Chain A
Amino acid sequence: MADRSLGPMWHLPGLERAGEPGEAAGVDTSEASAGEWHVTRTATGSVVQAPRLSDRQARAVAAFVRSAALEARSVRTHADVLRAISGAAKRLADPSDAVGREAERLLSSGLGWSREAARESLAGMSREWADDALSALVEAEIGDPALLDRFIPDPTRGGRRRMAVGPPLVFQIHAGNVPGVPVTGAMLALLARSGVLAKTGTDEPGLLPLFARALGEADPLLASCLAATWWPGEDLPPAFERWGKEAGKAIVYGGEAAVRAARQHIPPEVEVIVYGPKVGVSVFLPDAPDAAAGLLARDVCAYEQRGCVSPRIAFVIGADPVDLADLIAVGMEKEAGRVRPPPLSETEAVALRSARAECEFAGLEDGSTRVSGPVDLTWTILAHRDAGVESEALPRAVWVYGIPSIEALATLLGPFEGRIQSIGYAGHEREEDLAQLAARLGVSRICALGDMAWPPPDWRHEGRHRLLPLLTWTDWEPAS
């Protein structure tokens, strides 16, 4: 494998005074030694590296970010923040901008994604990062954005004034999510006027530091409100404990291990907000049009199926799943031509082959299953006439099951209550019943197939507000 580095995977304001980032990682040389780096390789062999901060250094960064965040509250308005962060984020998705090209490079080197896949994902994320989308989100959640700047009259109670602001520091722990999620998380915290201490995931550690650098070119003070670095998910370096202590709130995205570590090592008085592991599913109602199969393929391939918004299972009511698999296959082939799939790791290849074998043999005697997909394993459809819920987190792979009714679906999905992020569906027959089932299962979004991977900005991720949980409200009832 090529020994190539992804570049600096950190943005650590406050340490820069001790030296340029990259020169001993900006780490105080009196503390730097051979063990002062976190290093790993991504699945594609790219080297990921970031300085291992001592407790003192982590504390210094936290103090610097905290003071910058407090200063920004008095010298920047919500409008300033919105303009600066959406402007910086926009550059990530602009292929004509050096920042955009660097973002593409990070995704293609780090994840092995094709240029088209990288570009499409960045374009998808950037819709969420646009100023009008962010404004819509703020308005949907808190009404008047001026609340974030100052006390404003509360229309629900005469004489009262209200203001809402996040804690001076928010600690965000990312564990290999969809690329760009750390950027979105940081933007929301900056909108809450909080300083951000972020730990990025191994698969995609670079976009957030890149965003911070772009932000620094537009507004150095706001860039100082954001520290981002990487360490291996299984590690608990001093920075983890220190940032957990210093933060007013902690947000954990993704992996079970990260959630467990956060619950164990972050002090109980710090509120931990968890976005845990979820699965996406899709449903073909009896009157679903044939074209829906292509839309499913689109959703499956979005973000290379890394997100919990991408469907992993398709349930088919009133049609033959094996026949449907042929239609989906056409769509998967088309997607493979449009956006080249990344190379598979050995582990993924072994697991895909195993999953294919199990499905193939399950139907060899009675023809009740069908395996579709090219021999190079780049996409896979495992269709079963019988009902089932088995699936695995494998690239461009979808499990298709025939089910008799929505009631049968309710039984099958019962054990997954609270674990399904979104349901994509096609057709209209009994769609109201399906929506009711989604609500009962705690599904945060049910939408048309083809739209699953691109939720609107004001979507309530995991069924919750996204900005609101960061804020603390102050009611001012003026003295008479």
Chain B
Amino acid sequence: MKKLFLSIVGLYIIFLHAFSQSSQAADSATYTSKPLKLDEINLVSSYYSQTGNHSAVTGGIGNERVTDLANGLSLTFVGWDGQGQKHSIVAGLGIDHHTAASQAFVSKSGASKTGGSRVYPSIDWTVENAAKGYSFGAGAYYSGEYNYHSFGFDLNYAKKTNNNGEFSVKANAFLDKVTLIYPSELVPGSTVTDNGGGDVTYTTASGRTVSLSGGGGHERNIPTSPRTTVSGTFSFAQVINKRLQGSISFDVVGQSGYLGLPFHRVYFTSGTDAVESLPSSRFKLPVGLRLNYFLGDNVILRSYYRYYIDDWGIKSQTASLEVPVKITPFFSVAPFYRYYTQTASTYFAPYGKHLETETYYTSNYAYAALNSGYFGFNVRIAPPKGIFYSSFSAMEIRYGHYTQTTDLLSNVVSFEFKFK
């Protein structure tokens, strides 16, 4: 009896082993690696036009006319490894060109240039394991313009739950350098300096120092000051029922370094002016909620709410609603409205209201108490076989009109073209 029992157990173990070997052979045959291949091209272009009369360059008064043409191209490459994991690499390049009327008054005479360009490449890599329900990734970013340079990095991880939910976390850091271009009358140091031995240094209105010695000359760089931003983003998304899903997201953001802009003026009650002075640290905590509901067969309600607080005294609330109406399954028109309200920063006061005894002061109206309204519409065209039966797979056009109670108003029109 004992021998029979042991024989049966032995046969059972051999039976299991045979299956485990055959399943391993099947697993390795299921996943074949595929090299990275171009999967999608996205082009987003926007034209922004703004008017206002509270320019920070001139101390909270003056022309705020701005135009900005922004273009961003991204290429998405997708491949698979031998473990069945999907690898995505998104390479992006953005180029913006702006004109700002107030920029002319960095020089007291209004002779400074009014335009500038910014270039910002980026790369992101993501690995997704659909079977186990997780993904992780990393990214790098650079932004360069005449008065500001930034290097950014991020790491992210996401995990699905058993009941149609997903947690995600992201850590982000920006290491920036602010070029210290001061208003012409506030450039530190003397205009011309005789250093002796035939060496003469002079400082231009923009703050550039030029040194001449021995008949030749070399230009020293305008000094810079660092700014560091570190943030953590935590999100949870959940399917609630067949028509409703929502998410909650919050960021914890810490900044340190030079957090103002060196060409922003402040005028005191005495009539004298100075460069704005802001604390060298800032802590921000925004919390956002999204809820999307599919109403009937043709209408979607996309809602968003955000509460924001920081240690500069600003508290704000944002609420928006967008209502895509599907004219056909592949053509939709979505009117939207966004409302925003904020309290003033502790350090803000209008033109001529700051006291010289204050430690921190700004007249940048982005920090004033204000309400804003933004309304417009979004049109989306995405036929299943592509526009004109080509690889031009989708197009979106978006227009918005923005007004603030500070008398700033703007219009923006954007296009997105997707190719697959």
Q: Do A and B bind each other?
A: no
